[in-house]
């Protein structure tokens, strides 16, 4: 209630009295007006300032009511779609039951051709009816196309049905925060795709500068927090909040080394490698900041430190994406960095091919001046050589005088005699003789000469050779020495003056040697030498390391350190065979698909999906490989080779060496008897009796044939392999004889037929084909795939009836039974969803009542209180008017 303004009882001015009385009148009138508006409109609040807290609560309630109203609209639409879907499929079961009854009536050998023809017609009619149901449209969209609502999902062409929809479910908000699926894709009801064809090949991409952080760890990504890098004295905090790629991470680390230090972060095939400069000592550590996990997720968490060593990160396992370059998959290339202290001098050596062949190649810098008696090369004339065999260490000794220079070569190859110090000492009065001793602990070869200068060079050679660690011979590298003179003497003054060292001249097998000038050769000059050697360039690419360069003009200008060595590692996988492509058999058609020119995973997917072979190619859920499925019902589907290894390398061959025998023949496997299952008869008549009872997969079957005791004749045997074109087992006979390669099944065993080597119902294989010097027998694919669904079952029933194949007919009826169960489950799911929506609708209706009541309490008027208050205010106004009338009639006489 508005305030009542008091009038003082003491003597006051008339103006104050009038003011107080007018204020009271105005207050009463405003209150009455407001109450009249509330009673007239039913609203207590007309603007937020009337009651700010209540207004805020009311706005929230109104927004929630609007959301709930939209949810009820969505729910109503969802109910209509589910109802239409259920109506569409409710007659399918009756149709299929009728077909099943008709087919069972002709599954015997005495039924007439007319009866079978009638059954065929009924099956065809059922196929057409189901296709019509599957293509039903409701409210402008196809009910069974998944999320491709404008695409006709089922295409009936001749004796095949293709599913062109997808497996996605449309979802709608049936409540403020509740998504609800409003459809069932046709693949869930009718069947649309075959099982996935995939192998065991991991197409795990290598890590590169462009690898997204969100793709690491199979797509789980990392937490972009902060890490602390320290050398034990100074610490830098690095925040990765703005980083998007591994290259960003490496750049941030390189730019934020501890004060006064240099940290090099490089990206390998698997992840990160961090190294700190050796000059400042200390202990290199990487820790988390604020309880984060960023360092651990980047694989570089090292809280205890590695002194000045390198921190090699864990495998970051990037996810395969459509945009992934094919250069980043199928394995990695062996790689190393020849690293010298300072900047602008690191060289990257990387294999040109994937695989392990170039792992373990060592790169060594050799001081050319140490190798022989010549003056050694000067900077700018460096040489590089590659040796596949181990190389012995060597060193040159230049004595004063003429005809007496020597070259020493280690008597063992490898690095064990590298950095051997050679000293010439005074051995006393020994005349023309010489001595030689080798200390393996200090790696020192000591040569003793006569104190009077009488030692002859031939005796020095004999002493060194007799000691046995090195072989000495005259060194003609310096023409000024005049040629070898066996009686040339060694001046006494050479003792303590003449020295030599083998340096890094010895190496293990597969070593790249670069001869340089000590303290003069730059990284650019080493790079020129490496790139100038054809043998090295045929195997490796050599470039300057980007992270080590301070700029384009200074890249490679830094000097190299003779102690710098590097060993390649990380090579894995194989070089892909994309040009051969693969062979897809689907719908009685064969498609040869080549990927020549493909640059990315998306190119491969586009080529497959656009091949017209009726397949859907995708990246698998784990993000490490491809899967291919058929969407054509009614036929066998397989993926094999087209003369190369493409299908195997992509991991999509449908029959591999690892395929379990139990999975062959649509899951019926291979049955074996005790003893011989079949006999392979070679061209020369030699029989190979094969018992497959111990085999569990295709590789073991191949091994049983290849390792047969009667087959172990090099150059004259039968070789078993998977077919080079298509699928199936292939036998290659290199023997010569009057016979012909063939296979005979054993009585009671059907293993050869079930392995695809002998046709169904036959006792012997088809004739082999002469291919060059060999005879080749290729079996059929024993592991065909098929679309699982009602169209496939009906089409196979039709085919079995046409060809009167009772065995196939029996299997097809079994498939149909499974399809009918699938349809029943689908209808049950539709019913459950409809029931769920009904429950949601009832709940939303109750919530609407409650929310409306809550909103009413906040903004609507209390009629009883308002009317009562209005009466009171009207009485107050009447009293105020009377009092004011009296007050305004007063005159000066009233105060006398």
Q: In CATH, what number is assigned to the domain containing residue 140? A: 1.20.1330.10
Which stretch, 418-427, 757-766, 824-833, has highest mean pLDDT? 418-427
466 & 552 share domain: yes
What number of helices (H) and strands (E) belong to the chain? 18, 41
Hey, what's the torsion of the CAs at 687, 693, 694, 699, to 10 degrees?
A: 70
- Between 469 and 857, name the one with better pLDDT: 469
When mean pLDDT is compared across 21-35, 444-458, 494-508, 769-783, the lowest value belongs to 21-35
Using an 8 Å Cβ cutoff, are 170 and 594 in contact?
no
373 & 455 share domain: yes
Is the pLDDT assigned to residue 128 strictly greater than 90? yes
How many domains does the chain divide into? Answer: 6
Q: How confident is the model at residue 133 (pLDDT cuts 50, 70, 90)?
A: very high
Position 586 scores a pLDDT of 93
141 falls within a domain = yes
272 & 309 share domain: yes
Q: 211 vs 251, 269, 299, 608, CA distance in Å?
A: 14, 11, 15, 25
Q: How confident is the model at residue 432 (pLDDT cuts 50, 70, 90)?
A: very high
Position 383 scores a pLDDT of 97
607 & 516 share domain: no
Q: 26 vs 32, 590, 678, 884, CA distance in Å?
A: 10, 96, 115, 12
Instruction: Select from 165, 155, 152 the least CA-distant residue to 634.
Output: 155
377 & 436 share domain: yes
Position 157 scores a pLDDT of 87
- Cα gap 500→407, rounded to integer Å: 10
Is the pLDDT assigned to residue 616 strictly greater than 50? yes
405 & 532 share domain: yes
353 falls within a domain = no
Beta strands in 154-234, from DSSP E residues, in sequence order: 154-157, 160-163, 171-175, 178-181, 226-230
Position 1 scores a pLDDT of 43
With 0-12 / 13-18 / 19 or more C-beta atoms within 10 angstroms meaning exposed / middle / buried, residue 270 is buried
743 falls within a domain = yes
- Cα gap 50→54, rounded to integer Å: 9
879 falls within a domain = yes
392 & 522 share domain: yes
Which stretch, 169-178, 200-209, 362-371, has highest mean pLDDT? 362-371
652 falls within a domain = no
Q: How confident is the model at residue 406 (pLDDT cuts 50, 70, 90)?
A: very high
Handedness of CA 525, 527, 528, 533 (dihedral sign): positive
434 & 551 share domain: yes
Token readout for 46 is 């007309």
671 falls within a domain = yes
98 falls within a domain = yes
285 falls within a domain = yes
How much is the pTM? 0.81
Is the pLDDT assigned to residue 797 strictly greater than 80? yes
- Give per-residue pLDDT as tens, 742-751: 999 999 999 9
For 222, the domain range is 213-319
286 & 310 share domain: yes
Instruction: Select from 843, 844, 857, 838 the least CA-distant residue to 65.
Output: 844
Cα radius of gyration rounded to whole Å, the chain:
45
557 & 597 share domain: no
Is the pLDDT assigned to residue 694 strictly greater than 90? yes
Which stretch, 334-348, 691-705, 824-838, has highest mean pLDDT? 691-705
407 & 460 share domain: yes
871 & 813 share domain: no
Position 176 scores a pLDDT of 79
């Amino acid at each position: 209630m508005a305030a009542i303004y008091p009038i003082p009882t003491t003597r006051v001015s008339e103006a104050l009295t009038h003011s107080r009385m007018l204020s009271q009148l105005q207050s009463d009138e405003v209150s009455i007006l407001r109450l009249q508006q509330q009673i007239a409109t039913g609203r207590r609040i007309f603007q937020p300032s009337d009651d700010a807290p209540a207004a805020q609560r009311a706005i929230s309630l109104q927004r929630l009511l609007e959301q709930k109203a939209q949810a009820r609209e969505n729910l109503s639409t969802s109910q209509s779609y589910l109802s239409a879907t259920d109506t569409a499929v409710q007659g399918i079961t009756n149709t299929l039951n009728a077909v099943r009854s008709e087919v069972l009536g002709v599954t015997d050998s005495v039924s007439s051709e007319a009866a079978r023809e009638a059954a065929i017609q009924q099956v065809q009619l059922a196929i057409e009816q189901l296709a019509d149901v599957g293509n039903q449209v409701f409210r402008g969209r196809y009910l069974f196309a998944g999320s491709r609502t404008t695409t006709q999902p089922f295409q009936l062409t001749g004796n095949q049905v293709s599913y062109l929809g997808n497996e996605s479910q449309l979802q709608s908000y049936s409540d403020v925060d509740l998504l609800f699926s409003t459809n069932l894709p046709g693949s869930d009801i009718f069947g649309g795709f075959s099982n996935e064809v995939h192998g065991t090949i991991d197409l795990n991409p290598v890590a590169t500068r462009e690898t997204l952080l969100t793709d690491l760890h199979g797509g789980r990504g990392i937490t972009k927090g902060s890490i602390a890098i320290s050398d034990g004295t100074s610490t830098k905090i690095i925040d990765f909040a703005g980083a998007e790629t591994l290259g960003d991470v490496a750049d941030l680390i390189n730019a934020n080394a501890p004060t006064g230090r240099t940290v090099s972060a490089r990206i390998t095939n698997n992840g990160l490698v961090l190294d700190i400069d050796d000059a400042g000592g200390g202990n290199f550590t990487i820790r988390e900041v604020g309880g984060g996990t960023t360092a651990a997720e980047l694989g570089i968490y090292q809280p205890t430190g590695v002194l000045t060593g390198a921190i090699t990160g864990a495998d970051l396992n990037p996810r395969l994406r459509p945009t992934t370059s094919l250069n980043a998959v199928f394995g990695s290339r062996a790689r190393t960095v020849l690293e010298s202290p300072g900047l602008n001098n690191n060289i990257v050596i990387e294999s040109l091919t994937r695989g392990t062949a170039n792992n373990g190649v060592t790169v060594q810098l050799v001081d050319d001046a140490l190798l022989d008696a010549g003056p050694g090369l000067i900077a700018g004339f460096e040489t590089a050589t590659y040796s596949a065999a181990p190389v012995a260490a060597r060193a040159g000794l230049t004595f004063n005088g003429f005809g007496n220079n020597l070259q020493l070569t280690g008597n063992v190859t490898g690095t064990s005699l590298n950095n051997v110090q050679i000293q010439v000492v005074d051995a006393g009065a020994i005349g023309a003789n010489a001595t030689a001793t080798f200390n393996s602990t200090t790696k020192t070869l000591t040569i003793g000469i006569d104190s009077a200068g009488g030692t002859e060079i031939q005796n020095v050679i004999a002493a060194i050779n007799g000691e046995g660690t090195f072989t000495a011979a005259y060194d003609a590298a310096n023409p000024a020495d005049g040629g070898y003179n066996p009686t040339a003497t060694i001046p006494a003054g050479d003792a303590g003056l003449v020295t030599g060292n083998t340096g890094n001249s010895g190496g293990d097998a597969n070593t790249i040697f670069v001869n340089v000038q000590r303290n003069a050769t730059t990284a650019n000059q080493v790079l020129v030498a490496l790139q100038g050697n054809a043998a090295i360039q045929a195997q490796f690419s050599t470039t300057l390391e980007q992270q080590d360069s301070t700029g384009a003009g200074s890249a490679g200008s830094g000097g190299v350190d003779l102690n710098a060595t590097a060993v390649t590692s990380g090579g894995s996988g194989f070089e892909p065979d994309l040009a051969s492509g693969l062979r897809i058999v689907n719908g009685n058609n064969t498609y040869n698909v080549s990927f020549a020119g493909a640059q990315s995973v998306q190119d491969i997917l586009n080529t497959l999906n656009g091949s017209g072979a009726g397949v859907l190619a995708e990246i698998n859920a784990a993000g490490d490989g491809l899967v291919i499925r058929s969407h054509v019902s009614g036929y066998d589907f397989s993926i094999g080779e087209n003369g190369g290894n493409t299908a195997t390398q992509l991991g999509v061959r449908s029959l591999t060496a690892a395929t379990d025998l139990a999975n062959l023949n649509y899951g019926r496997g291979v049955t074996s008897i005790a003893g011989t299952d079949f006999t392979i008869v070679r061209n020369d008549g030699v029989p190979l009796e094969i018992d497959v009872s111990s085999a569990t997969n295709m590789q073991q079957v191949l091994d049983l044939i290849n390792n047969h005791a009667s087959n172990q004749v090099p150059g004259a045997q039968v070789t078993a392999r998977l077919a080079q074109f298509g699928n199936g087992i292939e036998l290659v006979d290199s023997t010569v004889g009057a016979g012909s390669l063939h296979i005979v099944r054993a009585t009671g065993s059907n293993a050869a037929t079930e392995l695809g080597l002998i046709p169904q119902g036959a006792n012997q294989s088809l004739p082999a084909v002469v291919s060059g010097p060999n005879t080749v027998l290729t079996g059929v694919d024993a592991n065909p795939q098929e679309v699982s669904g009602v169209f496939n079952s009906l089409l196979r029933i039709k085919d079995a009836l046409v060809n009167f194949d009772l065995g196939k007919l029996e299997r097809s009826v079994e498939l149909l039974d499974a399809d009918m169960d699938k349809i029943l489950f689908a209808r049950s799911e539709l019913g459950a969803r409809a029931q769920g929506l009904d429950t949601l609708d009832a709940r939303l209706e109750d919530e609407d009542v409650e929310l409306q009541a809550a909103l009413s309490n906040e903004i609507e008027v209390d009629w009883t209180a308002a009317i009562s208050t209005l009466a009171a205010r009207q009485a107050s106004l009447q009293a105020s008017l009377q009092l004011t009338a009296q007050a305004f009639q007063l005159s000066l006489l009233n105060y006398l």
